[in-house]
């Protein structure tokens, strides 16, 4: 269950690499992504599960009010995925299954929403969730989704980070290092300073892990 415990402690989420300016997003989406980053990167780990539980409820209500708008589905999925990482254990599987469904619905509605981040988010689930019979993990599907996410946002910090982490997981260390370095060079996202700072720390850890095997 190590991968399930790891989920979205890596996940994202802000799993989202987008070129949209913060002011172009709905105010409630900006709130969700800002609150997500505060919990993930600023709260002590022991306080995160309860905080994410509350944020899941808020995200679910917002999504119910905007059922045909992909960003609301994506952000509820991201928050549920990160909540699963904070929660851990078999009880987290229900959260990642709901997240998977939300990402799939988002792709059906608008595959290019938020720079294709639903593909990146779904791909990260596929390589971190256990496979059958416990979960739906599948490395081939993971790579396909991650590459699709990169096709929408080839320079994005999250799209490159998660593909690099997948390559690290698959022991492709040299390729992982190259992708991590590209992620580290990604342009900053206005309004996402906290998320960018936290993600860069994760990238640096990934680079160090890859170099240990080279």
pLDDT tens digits, one per residue of 170-210: 999 999 999 999 999 999 998 899 999 999 999 999 999 99
156: helix, strand or coil: coil
Domain ranges of the chain: 2-151
Q: How confident is the model at residue 9 (pLDDT cuts 50, 70, 90)?
A: very low
Q: Are 17 and 121 in contact (CB under 8 A)?
A: no
Stronger pLDDT, 4 or 52, i.e. the higher one: 52
Q: Which fold has domain 2-151?
A: 1.25.40
CB atoms within 10 A of CB 64: 10
d(CA 62, CA 32): 10
Name which of 75, 81, 104 is nearest 94 in CA terms.
81
Instruction: Name the pTM for this structure.
Output: 0.88
Angle at 144 between CA 30 and CA 122, to 5 degrees: 35
For residue 94, is pLDDT > 50?
A: yes
* Tally of CA atoms within 13 A in the half-sphere of 34 that contains its CB: 11
pLDDT at position 91: 79
Q: What is the pLDDT of residue 1?
A: 47
- DSSP letter at 134? T
Please answer whether residues 52 and 39 qualify as being in contact, where contact means their C-beta atoms are separated by less than 8 angstroms: yes
DSSP class of 23: G
């Amino acid at each position: 269950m190590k991968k399930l415990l790891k989920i979205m402690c890596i996940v994202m989420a802000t799993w989202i690499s987008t070129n949209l300016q913060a002011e172009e997003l709905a105010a409630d989406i900006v709130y969700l992504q800002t609150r997500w980053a505060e919990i993930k990167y600023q709260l002590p780990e022991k306080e995160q599960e309860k905080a994410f539980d509350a944020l899941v409820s808020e995200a679910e209500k917002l999504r119910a009010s905007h059922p045909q708008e992909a960003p609301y589905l994506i952000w509820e999925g991201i928050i549920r995925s990160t909540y699963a990482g904070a929660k851990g254990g078999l009880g987290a599987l229900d959260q990642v299954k709901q997240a998977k469904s939300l990402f799939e619905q988002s792709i059906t509605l608008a595959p290019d929403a938020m720079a294709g981040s639903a593909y990146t988010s779904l791909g990260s689930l596929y390589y971190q969730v256990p496979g059958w019979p416990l979960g739906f993990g599948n490395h081939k599907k993971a790579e396909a989704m991650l590459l699709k996410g990169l096709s929408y946002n080839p320079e994005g910090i999250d799209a490159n980070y998660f593909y690099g982490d997948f390559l690290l997981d698959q022991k492709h260390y040299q390729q992982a290092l190259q992708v991590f370095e590209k992620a580290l060079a990604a342009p900053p996202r206005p309004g996402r300073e906290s998320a960018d700072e936290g993600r860069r720390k994760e990238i640096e850890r990934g680079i160090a892990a890859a170099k240990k095997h080279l």
